[in-house]
Amino acid sequence: MIHLGKTIGSSGALTVATYNIHKGFSHFNRRMVVHDLRDRLRMMGADIMFLQEVVGHNARHVEAHPQWPEAPQHEFLAETQWPAAAYARNAVYAHGHHGNAILSRYPLIRCDHEDISTNSVEKRGLLHAEIEVPGWPQNLHCVCVHLGLFGRSRRKQVEAVCARIEALVPDGAPLVLAGDFNDWGHRIGDPLRELDVHEVFETVRGRPARSFPARLPILRLDRIYVRGFSVHSVDVHRGAEWARLSDHAPLAAHLILGA
């Protein structure tokens, strides 16, 4: 299920963010917060959002929550702010599905999903979008991932991510790989170095950011890897207002093309 849109151009500066939105529910599923979540995402001002655990459809939530949006979450969140939005389901169940999404201010000219599940229990995938940023010499490639909870699964999934990028992303093309890597042991960096990518928080602060749990982040689960950019600055969006929206804290990076 893919929805595409269009918008207008920009310079070599780019702000990207990644966020596991926990299906639009607060920590421990206490409250439906998707409306507040949309407001907070707009405040971030990101050009491109990489989202995980995005609900495409859930019949139970529609019945249980009168304010549940009629549109799929990626369309609801993108409304008025990101004219281009793509979604692909990872997990499919009797009453609905959820997966990854990419929201963009710039036109999505191609978007593909790849199932990188390693077992029948944990359904995982990657969403690969090619984005046309006006004025840039090459298209931007964005890959949004949500990796598994088990180390062996993550290693195989990273191999699949690397294989796709090596096969389909030109060497000189700018690249952003972001999402929920579930990598609390910080063990997946070595295979990714073969792609000549660097993690933005490692570049600026020496280590990936603490992003989970949102109320008091301890684990370094979420990442933003880039190629073809310098990193101007990075942010972890913490605090009470963010902690009430998801169990993850969102990460953002301000990038400069080719510097």
Going from the N-terminus, what domains does the chain have, and what CATH number goes with each?
13-257 (3.60.10.10)
CA dihedral 75, 35, 70, 7 (to 10 degrees): -20
Cα–Cα distance for residue pair 143/94, rounded to 1 Å = 28
Q: What is the per-residue pLDDT across 90-128, written as a single tens digit (0 to 9) for each?
A: 998 999 999 999 999 999 999 999 999 999 889 999 999
What pLDDT shows up at residue 3? 42
Task: Using pLDDT thresholds of 50, 70 and 90, give the confidence band for residue 6.
Answer: very low
H-state helical runs in the chain: 34-44, 59-64, 73-78, 151-168, 189-193, 200-205, 240-243
Non-local (6+) Cβ contacts of 73 within 8 A are: 21, 23, 24, 34, 54, 55, 56, 101
Digit-coded pLDDT (tens) for 151-184: 999 999 999 999 999 999 999 999 999 999 999 8
Q: Quote the pTM value.
A: 0.94
